[in-house]
Amino acid sequence: MTHFRCSFLVSTVVLPFLLLRLFPANLNVMEINRSCSCNSNSSLPPDFCFHVNHHLLFSSFRTQGFLALFTGDTGEIRAEVREQIDTKVAEWREEGKAEIVPGVLFIDEVHMLDIECFSFLNRALENEMAPILVVATNRGITTIRGTNYKSPHGIPIDLLDRLLIITTQPYTKDEIRKILDIRCQEEDVEMAEEAKALLTHIGVETSLRYAIHLITAAALACQKRKGKVVESEDITRVYNLFLDVKRSTQYLMEYQEQYMFNEAPIGDGDEDGTNAMLH
C-alpha cells in the first residue's frame, strides 16, 4: 500500500494586506472589520469600520466613473488611501483606541505558486503587523515553478527556513474504521459489522478516500436488492464494479496496446512500472 505524506507549513507572520493586493475590490470590508476592533472606552463612533470600509471600497471607483464597469477595471485602491488608513490605524493603536486582531491566511497546494509569488511572500513575512500564514502541500522534492531548480515541497529554501513544518502520518486501521463509522452516520447508511470490517480492509489496502466513495455506492446496491442494511455482498459488488487507482493502473499497463495512444514501456516489468507510476 502506498502512503502519501502531507506537510503543513506554518509561519507566524505575513503581510496583513496580502489578500487586498490579490483581490482589492471585495476583501477590504472583511480585512478592516477583522483587523480593527475598538475598545469600549474609545471615543470613536460605533460605525467607524463602516465609514472606513466604504471609503476604501468606493473612493477610487468614483473617480473612474461608470465606464469602469465595461473596461474591466477592478478599481484598485490607490496607494495614498492605503497609506492614510495604515497611518491612522497605527496612530489609534498607539493611543489604545484600536487593536489589531491578526487573522489567518491559508494557501492550499502552495507548490503551484511561482517564484514571483514566493518572493512576495518572503518580503511579506518581514511585516510586524501580520496574521498567521498556513500553507499546505503534498509534494516531495519537486521543481519550483518558474525556475529550473528543485526544492523540498516546491518551495524556495529561504522561504522554507521561515516556516515550521508539521508532518502528518498515515491513518491506522482503527482510525480508518472510526472515520468510516462517522461517514456512515453522516450519510444515514446502516451497515453490518462484517461489511464495515471489509470496507475497513479495503481502505487499508487502497485508500481512505476510495473506501468512503464505496459507502454511497454500496447503499445504492443495497436499495437495488431491496435491502435495509448494507451487507458484505454489497461492498464486494461495488468493489468489483469500481476500480481504485492501483487496479486501474494495472489494467492500463496490461492492455495498453489496445489503446490509441500510450507512452508506457512495454515489457516484462509491468508490475514494476505500475508501482513506479503509483509512487
Say if residue 169 is exposed, middle or buried (CB neighbours under 10 Å; 0-12, 13-18, 19+).
exposed
The CATH code of domain 173-242 reads: 1.10.8.60
Give the pLDDT of residue 136. 92
Task: Please give the single-letter amino acid code of residue 144.
Answer: I
37 vs 99, residue with greater confidence: 99
Host H or E run for residue 100: strand 98-100
Do the strands 7-11 and 36-38 form a parallel or antiparallel pair, or are they unpaired?
unpaired
Q: What is the pLDDT of residues 259-276, one digit of tens each?
A: 877 776 655 445 555 554
Model confidence at 183: pLDDT above 60: yes
Number of H helices, E strands in the chain: 13, 8
Give 24-67 pLDDT, tens digit per residue: 333 333 343 434 444 444 444 444 444 444 444 455 445 455 55
| CATH code for the domain defined by 1-16+106-166 | 3.40.50.300
**Cα 227 to Cα 234: distance, rounded to the nearest angstrom:** 10
For the chain, the domains span 1-16+106-166, 18-101, 173-242, 246-278
64-94 pLDDT, tens digit per residue, is: 555 555 565 555 667 887 788 888 888 888 8
Segment holding 36, helix H or strand E: strand 36-38
Look at the alpha carbons of 114, 119, 122, 123 in this order and tell me if their dihedral is positive or negative: negative
Q: Greater confidence, 218 or 52? A: 218
Q: What percent of the chain has pLDDT over 90?
A: 41
